[in-house]
Structure formats: structure tokens, C-alpha cells
Chain A
């Protein structure tokens, strides 16, 4: 029974499945009949581009087989990278159409299943047409994809080939022996002959047919250079004039002079060479072989001149107070010559290479030339190592390079020499070229770092013209300029590193794509444990925080000055709202920043949960103050500017923060009072709702005066003061009758209690003045003394006797 049911069930499923399989098949079967063979417009549009790329790829393939130098391979690689980009662009260009087709197919919906009423023929037709077009586009995309794979494989293969070529060059060894020498001599003779023939035939051609053009080219180039030289000196000459009168120019002005002098001097030469070359080309004076020779010659002259100008600007042996590095003048001059010589020899090496290529000389000659050049460069570097160029800051005596630097120079000077003498000419040449180029980059970077250090010096930025312009434009003060200088120095440092390191890596044979990939990994995120660190995310977080924080500040200011000030809000409420908005904004900015930096807040919550007990005990006081601060802001028992008294001290409230409140006493002492003490203790506020207050002035008068008269006088004085309120009216209290005085108290109300001091003074002055006019006495304390004596008569007798004696004595004196 059960088996039968299962069998029925299975057969049912099979039937359904068959049906499902047949339906699409059937509709697919219909397709070729119903739809005409249309080619998609996009495909037709892109087809020529794809075909062109295909052709280009096969072209590159052949070039790759022929390529034998590193430069050609590198060029080819660049081209291929361009092609791969083009292929991607072609692929992307199909996207709008695909999206369109998909959207339309969605609108049409799936074909109605079997058994349902059939749809209109036009719908079926459109669906089939769209599906066909999509299939066509997919096929073309597939083709493009295959091409891309092919191109990328070629790029990989080129990388492999370049590595191999490089290893071969470095590991190739030439036997240096007697036969090589004779070979070189013969080859050298041959090359001389060939070059002689080439150059002289060209020269004859120039002299016979093109001498006018040649002259014109040189003339025009000369004029261009002269214009630049004289015009430059006239217009911006002051920028690179080394004034010998200035005792100690600042580093930045020295740097500016060095920059402009190098730029202008080398620009003149470069303009002259470039215009000459352009005009020679324009007048068709050059043949291809001569053109490449002249090009190389001009390049080398330009570079050597630049190096010379730069070295001179940096070392500056003629004007020691304008130099950029502490190199003594005499060794500096030698160092400059050595540097220029190194550049010249390397340049000559390149020219010789070109000549070898033009004359198709024997390999032995190339070997000999490289040997010669590398050994010379090595010797020059060793010569530099022997110099004592540095100047002692105090004594002015010259001293050698630091030990590490000297050893380093010796090593890099010796390596190419030793390699060359062992026959590894390729290696030697590679090393010496790397030394020179990397050395140039490193020296430039070092100058950059020096600049950064100079900019960060105190008042360095404010001393420059640019700094002064900025200061004037934005109205900044000295401190801000100083901080700006620090920021600029950090920016320069980062800039130097970001520019310098990729250049050095490029020189070492790394590819841009590799470097950008590294940079991307560092920037977009790498894992440490389970934590993902992404520099971009962190930077975004910091930036967002800063932005939001500034926005809050702005909003706070706007709300305070624009909205609440106009709404005539009480200053206490304004201050509370201001503070609350500030803290809220800070909190929100922090949360936004932290989440943008990719730090998961829930993991922080876990830590916070664990620590909350400990933190709760540890930070009890702070939390209590914090909460008290919030209560103070909400309840506002006092506001900024109030005169309060708490815990025996009184003063004016200056600032209410969340943790503590700043109160300034009348002796101008700032008291930072924790907020909890305001909440837990009692606070006296003289100016809570209003500034109205009473001042009592006590005065005592003599018993001899009529108290009613005194009362009237005092009332009159109190009423006559302009700051005393009429209502509540002043009151004079006859407060006590004491031994020597009758005590009065003048009680006056003031609208603003902050005037109490001056009012009290005025009233007291008036009282004294008035009392003296009226003859009212302010008595000293008085005492009536009663003497009780037992034998009064004898005392009287004694006294009488003594007086009599004295009178008698006086009479005697008088007679004498």
C-alpha cells in the first residue's frame, strides 16, 4: 500500500519535472522561427573597437618576441596596460544596454506557463528579441574577457622576461684579458671611422644645403635663451640674488634663493637646447641617427648643467652664509667638481651607448666603455669619501664625514670597481647607475627634510613673504602663524616621504601597479588579529569628528547669538542650552567618528560593561560631579555672572562646566568648585531672581543729641541718594541704646547690588558731612568712674602739704 503511494508520488514528480524541462525547450525551439537575426546596436558600435584591440594585441605579441632591452619591454608593458584598460572600458560600455534589457524583460515578466492563456504575440516577439540581444552581448563580453586574460598573461610574461633579462645582465661575466684589449682597439678604430663618416657626411650635407637653417635654429634658440636669461634677471632677479651684506639669512630665504637660482640657470640652458633641437627638427636638418645622437647629447648637457647648478646652489662655496648644508668653502668647491664630474661621466656613458647603437659597434667596445665609466664613477665616489667637507659649527675647522657615512661611501665606491675588475660589467654598471640616481633622490629628500625643519622653527614662517601675505590676508597672530608653521612642516615631511619612497621603489624596479596595490591595502584595511585597521577609515573618522565638532561649535554660536539673543532669553537659560548643545554635539561627533573609523561600538560596550563596576567605584566623585553638573544646568540655581556664596567663599560665577564651576572671588582668585558641593551644600545667591538687595549702614551718635532729629537727618540722607530705591522705601532703625551711643541703622534697598560698595561709601560720607554741619557728635566710648576711699581727709592733707611745698620751692626760684 505504502509502496504504491510512494510510486505514484515519484511518478508524479517525474512528470512535473519533465514538463518543466520541456517548456523552456519548447519556447527556445520557437525562437529561431519567430525572430529575425538582428545585431545589437551596441555590439555593432563596439565591434570595430574590439577588432582594433585584437589587431593591436597580435601586434604587441610580435613586438614582445623581438624585444631585447628592458626599456622596450617596459614600454610594451605600459602599452598593454593601456589596452587592458581599454578592454574594460569596452566591457563597461555595454552596461547601460544590459540594464535596459533586464528592466524591459522584468516588465514583460516570464512567459506564461503551460495551461495558462497565451500572451500576445508582440510580447513574445519582444522577449525573444531582447533575450537574443542579451545573449549576443554576453558572447561579445565573453570575447572581451578572453582578450583581457590574454593581455594580462602577456603582462605577466613581460614581467617574467624582464626579471630574466635583469638576472642575465647582472650575472653575465666578461673575461678581461689581453685578447679583449686588442679586440677593443680594433673595434674602437672601426667605430671612430664609422662615426667620422656619419658625422662628416651629415655635416657636409648641412654645410651645402642647410647652413642657413642651421644658423637660424641656433640664432632663434640663442635669442630665446637670452630673453629668458635677461628677462628672468630683470623680473625675478631679486629672488635669487645672494646679498653678501646679509650676515645670516634665514634658512627659508636661503632655500628660496637656491631654488630660484637653480631653476633659472638650468631653465636657460634647457630652453636653449630644446629650442635648438626643435628648430633643427623643424628645418629638417637632422637625420634619424644624428637626431638620436643630438637628443642624447642635449639631454646629457642639460642634466649635467642642472646637477652642477643644484650642487652650486646647495654647497654655495662662493658665499658661505648662503649655503644650505654646512660644507666648508674649499672642500665644498672640490665636492662640487666631483659631483659634476660624476654626472658628466654617467652622461658620457649614455652618449657612448647611443654611439654604439648608431655605429652598431662590437660588444667588446660596450664592455670596455662600461668598465671605464663604472671604474671612474667608483673612484670619484671614493675621492668624495676622502674629503673633509664638514665644517665644525663652533671652531669653523673642517672635519671628515661621519664614520658611518665614510664607510658607506667607500663601500659603494668599491663595489662597482671590484665588480668591474672581476668581469661583471653589467652588475657594475647597474650598481653605479643606481648609486647616482638614488643618491640624487636621497639628497633631494634630505633637502626636503631640512626645509621642513626650517619651517617648523620659531617665527620662520612669519618671516617669509608668503607667511606675511597669509598673516595679512587672514589676520592671524604670531602664535597661530607658529602653529601653522608646525603644520606646514609636518605636511612637508609627509609629502617628501610620500613622493620620495615611491620614486626610489620605482628606480629599484617595482611597478606602479604593485605600489598602488600596497598603498590600497594599507589605506583600505589590513587585519591584525581579528581587528581590521583601515587608515582611510580612521582618517575619515577623525575628519568626520572634526567636521561635526566644528559644525556643533558653529551651531552653538548661531543658536546663542542669532536665535536665543533675539528671543530675549535669560542669560542663564542661554548658557545652559549652549553648554548642553556643546556637550551633546561633542558626544554625537565622538560616536560618529568612532563608528566611521570602523571601531565596533558593541565591542566597546562589552569592555565598558566589564569595567563599569570598577570604574563606577573609581570615578564615583567624577560621576557625582558630572550628574550634579547636569542638574545645575537643568535647575539653574545660579547662572554665569551671579554673585554666589558657598562654603565660606563668595564671588562671581564665571563658567559652569559639567564637572566643576569656576567662581572668581572679589580678589580675582579663580576657584574651581566641584559641582557636587553646590548640590549637596547650600548655596547663597545674591542675584538669583533679581539683583535687588538691602544694604545696612550702622552709626552711633551721642546721647546729647535728640534722637528724632538724627532719625530725620538719616532718612533725608538715605532718600537723597540717586541709587537708593524709593520703593521699598529706606528705613532708619533706632536699633539700640548703648552706654556711650544711641545706635541707628540706615537700611536702603538697591536695584543692583553690585553698586553696594559705592552707595555705602556715599551714604557714610554724607552722614559724616551732615553731622559735622549740624554739630552732632559721634562719641568715643564713655565711662563714669566712682572712687570709694576709706580715709579721705588724710589724703587731702597730704596733697595740700605737697602743693604748698611745691609753691614754696617755686617762690624761692623766683626770688633768685
Chain B
């Protein structure tokens, strides 16, 4: 019984993984991203110190410093001092 439960647990863990991308603003002022998801461009406000989930099925993002990036969903973006790091 124990072995069975462990097997089920292990397989369930392998299924569950992150889907949406998230962006964290480490700066003291709010930042605005332009997110192109589906057929629309939207502006995404990220307040100081906030973490926002977005882009569940892949998107293009334009960051406040003018950099553009394509995300497939599942990435973690951090904005620190106007610099972008994607993991």
C-alpha cells in the first residue's frame, strides 16, 4: 500500500508544473510592461515590490527600457534597477 501511494505521489508531482510566467518588480516605483498575448496588446502595471502572473500561453513583452522578449510561459522575470533577468 505504501509503495503504491508513493508511486502515485511521484507521478502526480511530475505532472504538476508551473504554467504562467510571472514578473517581479524589485524597484521602488511601478513599471509598465506591454504584453502581446493573443491578438491584443495590453499594458500591464506592476507595482513596486509586486509579483504578477501573466502570459499563460506564450507572449511577447516590451519592457520599460525598450527591450523586447518572447516568453513561452513558465518563466520568472525579475526587474531590478531597470534591468531585466529571466529565469
Contact = CB atoms under 8 A, between A and B. Distances in A.
Contacts of B48: none
A152 B36 CA distance: 10
Contacts of A480: 1
B57 to A, nearest CB: 7
Interface string A393-404: 000000000000
B54 interface: no
10 contacts: A88-B60, A98-B67, A102-B83, A145-B36, A145-B60, A148-B60, A149-B40, A487-B4, A543-B13, A547-B9
Contact of B12 (A88, A91, A153, A543): A543
Contacts of B58: 84-85, 88
A786 to B, nearest CB: 84
A141 B60 contact: yes
Given A149-B36, A149-B39, A484-B4, A142 B68 contact: yes
A155 B37 CA distance: 13
Nearest to B2: A550
B30 to A, nearest CB: 22
B60 A95 contact: no
A138 B68 contact: yes
A480 B4 CA distance: 11
A156 interface: yes
A88 B72 contact: yes
Interface string A743-782: 0000000000000000000000000000000000000000
A563 interface: no
B86 A141 contact: no
B44 interface: no
| 8 A-B pairs with least C-beta separation | A91-B70, A152-B39, A141-B68, A145-B60, A88-B58, A153-B39, A92-B70, A480-B1
Interface string A777-801: 0000000000000000000000000
Interface of B: 1-6, 9, 12-13, 16, 19-20, 36, 38-41, 56-60, 66-72, 83-84, 86
- Find the residue from B68, B71, B84 having the highest chain A CB count within 10 A: B68
A106 interface: yes
Given A88-B70, A94-B70, A145-B68, 8 more contacts: A91-B70, A92-B70, A95-B86, A98-B67, A141-B70, A142-B68, A155-B39, A520-B19
Interface in A584-600: none
Nearest to B19: A520
A469 to B, nearest CB: 14
Contacts of B13: 543
Interface string A147-168: 0110011011000000000000
Nearest to A524: B19
A726 B86 CA distance: 82
Contacts of A156: 38-39
Contacts of B39: 149, 152-153, 155-156
B13 to A, nearest CB: 6
B70 A540 contact: no
Contacts of A215: none
B4 A91 contact: no
Interface string A79-99: 000001100111110110011
A74 interface: no
A622 interface: no
A517 interface: yes
B70 A524 contact: no
Main secondary structure of the interface of A (DSSP, over half): helix
A99 B84 CA distance: 9
A547 B2 CA distance: 11
A770 B1 CA distance: 62
A137 B68 CA distance: 9
A565 interface: no
A536 interface: yes
B81 to A, nearest CB: 11
A319 B32 CA distance: 72
A516 to B, nearest CB: 8
A539 B12 contact: yes
A63 to B, nearest CB: 19
A524 B20 contact: yes
B15 to A, nearest CB: 10
A487 B39 CA distance: 44
A144 B71 CA distance: 13
A99 B12 contact: no
B87 to A, nearest CB: 11
- Find the residue from A85, A95, A476 having the highest chain B CB count within 10 A: A95
B62 to A, nearest CB: 8
Contacts of A148: 36, 60
A141 B13 CA distance: 35
Contacts of A524: 19-20
- Find the residue from B5, B39, B40, B59 having the highest chain A CB count within 10 A: B39
Given A106-B83, A517-B56, A546-B9, A540 B68 contact: no
A476 B70 contact: no
Contact of A539 (B3, B16, B69, B83): B16
Interface string A468-507: 0000001010001001100100000000000000000000
A455 to B, nearest CB: 14
A273 to B, nearest CB: 37
A513 interface: yes
Contacts of B83: 102, 106
Contact of B9 (A85, A155, A487, A543): A543
B80 to A, nearest CB: 12
Interface in A712-745: none
A348 to B, nearest CB: 41
B72 A92 contact: yes
A550 B2 CA distance: 9
A108 to B, nearest CB: 14
Contacts of B70: 88, 90-92, 94-95, 141, 144
A483 to B, nearest CB: 6
Contacts of A487: 4
A142 B72 CA distance: 16
A540 B13 CA distance: 8
A550 B5 CA distance: 10
Contact of B41 (A88, A106, A149): A149
Contacts of A91: 60, 69-70
Contacts of A94: 70
Nearest to A81: B57
Contacts of A137: 68
Contacts of B1: 476, 480, 483-484
B24 to A, nearest CB: 17
A77 to B, nearest CB: 13
A99 B86 contact: yes
A91 B60 CA distance: 8
B54 to A, nearest CB: 12
A541 to B, nearest CB: 11
Contacts of B36: 145, 148-149
A547 B4 CA distance: 13
Contacts of B4: 484, 487
B67 A138 contact: yes
Nearest to A92: B70
B39 to A, nearest CB: 4
Interface string A529-568: 0000000100110010011001000000000000000000
Contacts of B71: 92
Nearest to A140: B68
A98 B17 CA distance: 26
B18 to A, nearest CB: 9
Contacts of A483: 1
A84 B60 CA distance: 11
A106 B71 CA distance: 23
Contacts of A536: 16
A288 to B, nearest CB: 37
A527 to B, nearest CB: 13
A533 to B, nearest CB: 15
A474 B3 contact: yes
A98 B84 CA distance: 11
